[in-house]
């Protein structure tokens, strides 16, 4: 039972990490380079490199590592954003997701949406 709960939590966390650079297919980023790799691999790479920068609490916002930014810059954002659910949004701080994406120079377009989260306008705080 504990193993199943752990795996379920990991799946949810994996999906949450997708939001680190995620947006819906109709949204755009400042840098819309062609994505590489598979969505599942992108998700694993985000978990491995970015999870500590998007977890609650909302503050403080910590600048992500170079490794995290390298992943954010190459992931398939539309695919990852399609995995963001309301449950995922309870596990990660979407304000931090927007911060990390902006910090890594791949900001989400103001007014776009990732899961149920509307991306606010403006720049890095």
- Give pLDDT, residue 37: 58
pLDDT digits (tens, 9 = 90+) for 7-28: 333 333 344 443 333 433 334 3
Q: Read off the pTM.
A: 0.67
**Entry field: residues in the chain:** 125
pLDDT digits (tens, 9 = 90+) for 90-103: 988 988 988 999 99
pLDDT digits (tens, 9 = 90+) for 53-110: 999 999 999 999 999 999 999 998 777 877 888 998 898 898 898 899 999 999 887 8
């Amino acid at each position: 039972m504990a193993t199943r709960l752990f795996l379920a939590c990991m799946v949810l966390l994996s999906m949450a990490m997708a939001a680190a650079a995620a947006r819906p297919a109709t949204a755009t980023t400042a840098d819309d380079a062609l994505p590489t790799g598979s969505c599942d691999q992108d998700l694993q790479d985000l978990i491995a490199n970015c999870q500590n920068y998007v977890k609650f609490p909302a503050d403080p916002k910590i600048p992500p590592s170079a490794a995290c930014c390298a992943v954010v810059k190459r992931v398939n954002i539309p695919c990852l954003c399609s995995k963001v659910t309301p449950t995922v949004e309870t596990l990660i701080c979407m304000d931090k997701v927007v911060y990390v994406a902006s910090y890594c120079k791949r900001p989400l377009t103001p007014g776009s949406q990732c899961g149920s989260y509307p991306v606010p306008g403006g720049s890095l705080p």
